[in-house]
Amino acid sequence: MLTVRIQKQFRSSVSDFFLNTDFTLRKEDGTAVFFGASGSGKTLTFQGISGLYKPDRAFIKFRNTLFCDTEKNIFLPAQQRKISYVFQDYALFPHLTVLQNVAYAKSGLWVKFLSKSIKEECLELLKQFRIENLKNHYPSQLSGGQKQRAALARAILAKSELLFLDEPFSALDPLLRETMRRELLANLQKTAIPAVLITHDPEDVLFFADTLIIFKDGTTQKIEHVKKQGLTEQTIKPFLLDLLK
Amino acid sequence: MNQDIFFPLVLSLKVSFLAVCCAGVPAVWFAHIMARKKGMFSAFMDSLCTLPLVLPPTVLGYFLILLLGKKGILGSWLNAYGIQIMFTWQGAVIACTVVIFPLIYKYSRVAFSQVDQKLQDSAATLGASEFKIFFTVSLPLALKGIFAGIMLAFARGLGEFGATLMIAGNIPYKTQTLALAIYASFQNGDDENALFLVLITSLLCIAVLCIAEYCLEKKMVFKNL
């Protein structure tokens, strides 16, 4: 179970933004999707749960681990939260090969030197993701789809307990998205790590969401059993598109 | 090669190299800390680190004398243990270190601030400690800028004059660097020697900058950056 209550005032020279999220995701909620317009607070919520900034007021708990409780002055650093975060542009390390990127969580200070066992484990994973032939390529030499597979493989090898995917298809060609959605779903089912996705594409919601967290101006609203309700493209799409306006 | 030329040449290379070693580690480390800092205190610290770049060399030399001179804050204490800094080549290294520190610091700070924050965040969510993030993500990605700063600092160190003159003096075969030897030759009316030293210094600095540029352009050390 993931309980999230975050309050944070973000100030900038252009405008201020107040994030005020409050929701709980249970195991039976399945794959959750954060949906909302750009600037509604989805990524900030991901970052808050991952421990990438300190909220003003917050209570974040995942299973039995308290990530953050501002009242008790508890703040667990990102390193200890066991959340893998696949960034929108995948954030692969440009100076490391695909193999070194995937092995990062298990490698030591000398990331270019990998022990035989880690190498074998990585190669097995690369094989599973069909990028074994790209193991010595650098991120700049990969296509969008290949980058996504490498980033996902890297996140999975970190043996995290929760997987965050921030707009996983936004950097992809529209024609490739459909294929990549199926591939990602298959991979998520294979890894069995609970995943949360961010999107502002109604197609992604229809494809992945068991539970929907709607973001609007920094606040959240939860919609459960999206798939079980038998919502179709015709019924949910106008509602979602209306939220983006 | 004539000792009048060979000694200042070797001393200049030695002083500049050691000064880069002494300034390099603290400058890079401090630049990493300051790269993401904002606010008044950070602006003050940044100005303090950049100060040797804009202060007249005589002012910098005077500050160093106040610190390291026989009656200086640190100098009197060192003197009690028989350690003499003034009028030694070690003094020249210290003067040169202070002069080139801002160059390495400024280049490194810009290089670190240009490293995508997302990459560091990504490493943190993969469980990497701050130490590992620095050595495996921040430093390799900022290396190009740091290398440029170090090479520029080395070239600058070869030509260091003002602060070195005040701290180390201009003692032939002891503290006389290339820049000081040129000054001495010119003062003594030995134009031939002065011109030769000027040419050597100029060629050396051009060579250092060309090597740096070549390494950066050919991506010899920094593949895929």
| CATH class of residue range A2-92+142-244 | alpha beta
Reading the block at residue A215, the tokens are 């973001």
pLDDT at position A225, please? 73
Q: Give mean pLDDT, residues A151-172.
A: 86
Q: Give mean pLDDT, residues A154-158.
A: 88
Minimum-distance CB partner of B124 among A79, A107, A154? A79
pLDDT band at A232 (very low <50, low <70, confident <90, very high): low
Number of structural domains found in chain B: 1
Cβ–Cβ < 8 Å for A243, A35: yes
The interface pTM score, or ipTM, of the predicted complex is 0.87
Average pLDDT, chain B: 90
Considering the domain boundaries, does residue B224 fall inside one?
A: no
Considering the domain boundaries, does residue B225 fall inside one?
A: no
Helix then strand count (H, E) for chain A reads 7, 11
Looking at residue B142, which CATH number applies to its domain?
A: 1.10.3720.10
With residue A62 as reference, give the H or E element that holds it: strand A57-62
pLDDT band at B5 (very low <50, low <70, confident <90, very high): confident
pLDDT band at B20 (very low <50, low <70, confident <90, very high): very high
Question: Which residue in this structure is represented by tokens 């919601």?
Answer: A205
pLDDT at position A82, please? 87
A104/B136 CB distance under 8 A: yes
Question: What torsion do the CA atoms of A92, A98, A104, A107 make, to the nearest 10 degrees?
Answer: -160
Which string of DSSP letters, residue by residue, matches A140-181? GGS-HHHHHHHHHHHHHHTT-SEEEEESTTTTS-HHHHHHHH
Min distance B25 CA to chain A CA atoms (Å): 18
**Quick one: closest CA in A to B144, which residue?**
A95
- The answer on pLDDT for A229 being more than 80 is no
Which chain A residues touch B118 with a CB distance below 8 Å?
Answer: 87, 89, 91
Whether A62 and chain B come into contact, CB under 8 Å, resolves to: no
Question: Considering only A77-91, A150-164, A180-194, which range has the smallest mean pLDDT?
Answer: A180-194
pLDDT at position B21, please? 96
What gap in Å lies between CA B7 and CA B3, rounded to an integer? 6
- The answer on pLDDT for B1 being more than 70 is no
Residues B83-97: tens digit of each pLDDT: 888 999 999 999 999
What gap in Å lies between CA A5 and CA A85, rounded to an integer? 19
Q: Give mean pLDDT, residues B8-14.
A: 94
- Which ranges of chain B does DSSP label H, i.e. alpha helix? 3-34, 40-54, 57-68, 75-80, 89-113, 117-125, 130-133, 139-158, 162-168, 178-187, 191-217
Give the 3-state secondary structure of residue A56. Answer: coil
- The answer on pLDDT for B225 being more than 60 is no
Residues contacting residue A106 through CB under 8 Å, at least 6 positions apart: A118, A121, A157, A158
Which chain A residues touch B122 with a CB distance below 8 Å?
Answer: 85, 87, 91, 93
pLDDT band at A231 (very low <50, low <70, confident <90, very high): low
Q: Give mean pLDDT, residues B134-160.
A: 92
Where along chain A do its domains lie?
2-92+142-244
Whether A26 and chain B come into contact, CB under 8 Å, resolves to: no
| Selection from B126, B132, B145 nearest residue B31 by Cα | B145
